[in-house]
């Protein structure tokens, strides 16, 4: 990145002294907005093509601009482009280079346009591409979850409330709960895309332009659904970026919940799943350690993503219409949110298919902790006992179990009958873990048949995505 104070500013006409060196550095954004170059060039190409269509540029001028911009794109991609802080941002760097390359025609590119609508267009185009990448990554993660859920539709584990053993569930059912969260995240992402995918190009500085521009044409060339309605709003609001960050905060919240469970499950105390070594790291002092760093780090990264959401909300708050330089501050939080979300999704999509549940441990954990107590109460209700009384009876039986070290299924019929005289031999069928999960046989329930059906529906939803 070069810093030459002698560079003539594209806006320098009314200034009588050079910009202060610190101010130049302080106000420059090229150090981070250079990553918009690809979309900046695409936006410029669409603008120039439209100007030629409406007769503001000649076809030859457009052709020269097109060749020049494509050369610049190639130079940037080859690492041969020297970014200059004196030229402030990605937009003026590229435009100045175009003029260096093709002469006076380069100076015509900015006709009927401002950096205000240019940057709003670039950020929307950039975000749209990243949204599409993120959508694919969520789908890959969901697909892995659904496959694992299907393979473990009848693997029994303890279900928890308050992190205390509650009722047996299936491992597949648990994974499909994660999938539901992602399904909603996906739909929030697509919803955000709809509002981001509108073209601010042509709003110019704030009021529109006197040239006979065709905003529908540029919108179409850039794959936007339509031009935005109001020029003042177009150059100023960054709510589409805030919406994305809000989607990201929820997604990361969900990933942090999965992570917390993986951290617990891989501990020696739970020992529910095996996570391959390639997703873990060791300790420099304790030779026995295998730490679930990847889920831990993802759990931790929610902090920065939530921070970026608050940064953008605060940045936007109280801004008068129309564009203000405050908005230059939208980029770093947005970019870091995008990078973080992509990395965390990649880690999860790679890791999920490798999770190996330890079926024996899970089963034993479900067996302990009186997880079929509710089934016993429901059994008593079927025998004519009122639910509150049934609850009381089972509570007493559990108390006996705690004192005698016996699970409900390990008690004799005579022992159980001491608590409820209506209990008969058929009680043992409901006290089994398999009987317990199979009995919850309705949509959304944990019965293996329901879990299998849910995986089919979940996969059908994925198949409707492009
Ligand atoms: N780098 C600026 C930004 O990111 C581009 C727009 C500058 N517009 C202006 N009138 N100074 O917001």
Which atom, in ligand 1's list, is nearest to the CA of 89? 1
Residue 245 lies in a domain: yes
Last residue of a domain, one of 62, 85, 111: 111
**What does residue 161 show for φ and ψ, rounded to 5 degrees?**
-130, 145
379-384: which pairs have CB atoms within 8 A and are 24 or more residues apart? Answer: 379/423, 379/427, 379/430, 380/420, 380/422, 380/423, 383/422, 383/423, 384/422
- Is 442 contained in some domain? no
Is 2 strand, coil or helix? strand
Nearest CA to ligand 1 atom 3: 328
Which atom number of ligand 1 is nearest to the Cα of residue 330?
4
Judge whether 57 and 68 are in contact, CB under 8 Å.
Answer: no
Write out the residue range of the structural domain in which residue 383 sits: 373-431
Question: What pLDDT sits at residue 283?
Answer: 83
Between the CA of 115 and the centroid of ligand 1 the distance, in Å, is 6
Q: Are residues 289 and 394 part of one domain?
A: no
Count of CB atoms within 10 A of residue 211's CB?
16
Give me the catalytic one of 6, 162, 284, 442: 162
User: Of 61, 80, 111, which closes a domain?
Assistant: 111
Same domain? For 61 and 162 the reply is no
pLDDT of 2 reads: 65
Q: How far is the CA of 219 from the centre of ligand 1 (A)?
A: 21
Query: Ligand 1 centroid to 218 CA: how many Å?
Result: 21
**Does residue 379 sit within a domain?**
yes
Residue 261 sits in the same domain as residue 162: yes
> What radius of gyration do the chain's Cα atoms show?
31
Q: Are strands 198-199 and 226-227 parallel, antiparallel or unpaired?
A: parallel
CATH number of the CATH domain containing 388:
1.10.40.30
Specify the pLDDT at position 199.
98
Both tokens of 433, joined, read 């873990």
Residues 191 and 80 occupy one common structural domain: no
Q: Does residue 308 have a cis bond before it (omega within 30 degrees)?
A: no
pLDDT score at 125: 99
Block mean pLDDT (10 aa), the chain, length 466 = 65 90 97 98 98 98 98 98 98 98 98 98 98 98 98 98 96 98 98 98 98 98 98 98 98 98 97 95 86 96 98 98 98 98 98 98 92 95 97 96 92 96 95 94 98 98 92
Whether 2 is in a domain gets the answer no
C-alpha span between 296 and 401 (Å, rounded) = 37
313 and 293 in a common domain: yes
Whether residue 92 is found in the same domain as residue 147: no
Determine whether the shortest distance from the Cβ of 179 to ligand 1 is under 6 A: no
Q: Do residues 175 and 193 share a domain?
A: yes
214 located within any domain? yes
Give the residue whose CA is nearest to atom 11 of ligand 1.
325
Instruction: Identify any residues that bridge with 226 across adjacent strands, giving them in sequence order.
Output: 198
Whether 156 and 434 have beta carbons less than 8 Å apart is answered as yes
115 lines ligand 1 (CB under 6 A): yes
159 beta partners: 167
Is position 446 within any domain?
no
Buried b (16+ CB within 10 A) or exposed e, 411-445: beeebbeebbeebeeebeebbbbebbbbbbeeeeb
93 lines ligand 1 (CB under 6 A): no
What is the value of pTM for the model shown? 0.95
DSSP 384: T
Residues 301 and 389 in one domain: no
Looking at the structure of the chain, the number of domains it has is 3
Residue 117 CB less than 6 A away from ligand 1:
no
Q: Give the end of a domain, one of 333, 363, 393.
A: 363
Cα–Cα distance for residue pair 263/272, rounded to 1 Å: 10
| Residue 458 domain-assigned (yes or no) | no
Two tokens at 72? 């610049």
Q: How far apart are CA 324 and CA 232, in angstroms?
A: 11
Neighbour tally for 92: CB within 10 Å? 21
Residue 162 falls in the annotated catalytic set = yes
**E strands in 305-417:** 356-357
Whether 420 is in a domain gets the answer yes
The answer to whether 436 is a known catalytic residue is no
Q: How far apart are CA 43 and CA 49, in angstroms?
A: 10
What CATH number is associated with residue 37?
A: 1.10.275.10
312 in the same domain as 203:
yes
Give CA–CA dist 30/86, Å, rounded. 9
Residue nearest to atom 12 of ligand 1 (CA): 328
Q: What is the CATH number of the domain that holds 163?
A: 1.20.200.10
User: Is residue 333 domain-shared with residue 308, that is, in the same domain?
Assistant: yes
Looking at the structure, tell me whether residues 98 and 120 fall in a common domain.
no
CA distance 112 to 118: 11
329 and 304 within one domain: yes
**Distance between CA 212 and CA 119 in Å, rounded?**
21
- Please provide residue 65's backbone torsions phi and psi, each rounded to the nearest 5 degrees: -65, -45
CA 346 to chain centre: 11
Ligand 1 neighbourhood includes 334 CB (under 6 angstroms): no
């Amino acid at each position: 990145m070069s810093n030459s104070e002698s560079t003539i500013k594209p806006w320098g006409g009314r200034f009588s002294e050079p910009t202060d060196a610190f101010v130049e550095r302080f106000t420059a954004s090229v150090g981070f907005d250079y990553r918009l170059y690809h979309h900046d060039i695409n936006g410029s190409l669409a603008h120039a093509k439209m100007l030629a269509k409406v007769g503001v540029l000649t076809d030859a001028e457009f052709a020269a601009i097109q060749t020049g911009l494509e050369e610049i794109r190639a130079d940037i991609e080859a690492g041969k482009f020297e970014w200059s802080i004196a030229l402030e941002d990605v937009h003026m760097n590229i435009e100045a280079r175009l003029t260096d390359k093709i002469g006076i025609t380069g100076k015509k590119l900015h006709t009927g346009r401002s950096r205000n609508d240019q940057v709003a267009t670039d950020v929307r185009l950039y975000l749209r591409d990243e949204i599409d990448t993120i959508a694919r990554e969520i789908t890959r993660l969901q697909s892995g979850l659904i496959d694992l859920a299907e393979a473990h539709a009848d693997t029994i584990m303890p279900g928890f409330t308050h992190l205390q053993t509650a009722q047996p569930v299936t491992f597949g059912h648990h994974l499909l709960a994660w999938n539901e969260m992602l399904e909603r995240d996906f739909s929030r992402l697509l919803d955000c895309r709809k509002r981001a995918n509108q073209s601010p190009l042509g709003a110019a500085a704030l009021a529109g332009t006197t040239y006979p521009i065709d905003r529908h044409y540029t919108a179409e060339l850039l794959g936007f659904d339509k031009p935005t309605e109001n020029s003042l709003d177009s150059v100023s609001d960054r709510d589409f970026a805030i919406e994305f960050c809000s989607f990201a905060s929820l997604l990361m919240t969900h990933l942090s919940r999965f992570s917390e469970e993986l951290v617990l499950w891989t501990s020696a105390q739970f020992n529910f799943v095996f996570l391959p070594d390639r997703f873990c790291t060791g300790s420099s002092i304790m030779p026995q350690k295998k730490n679930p760093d990847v889920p831990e780090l993802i759990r931790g990264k929610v902090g920065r993503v939530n921070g970026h959401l608050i940064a953008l909300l605060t940045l936007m708050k109280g801004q008068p219409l129309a564009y203000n330089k405050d908005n230059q501050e939208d980029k770093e939080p947005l970019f870091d949110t995008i990078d973080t979300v992509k990395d965390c999704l990649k880690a999860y999509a790679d890791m999920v298919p490798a999770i190996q549940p330890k079926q024996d441990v899970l089963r034993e954990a479900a067996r302990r902790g009186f997880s079929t107590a509710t089934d016993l109460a429901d059994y008593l209700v079927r025998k004519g006992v009122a639910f509150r009384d049934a609850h009381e009876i089972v509570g007493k039986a559990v108390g006996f179990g705690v004192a005698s070290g016996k699970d409900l299924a390990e008690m004799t019929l005579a022992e159980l009958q001491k608590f409820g005289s209506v209990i008969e031999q058929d009680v043992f069928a409901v006290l089994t873990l398999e009987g317990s999960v199979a009995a919850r046989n309705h949509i959304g329930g944990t019965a293996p048949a329901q879990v299998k059906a849910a995986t089919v529906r979940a996969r059908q939803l994925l198949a409707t995505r492009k």
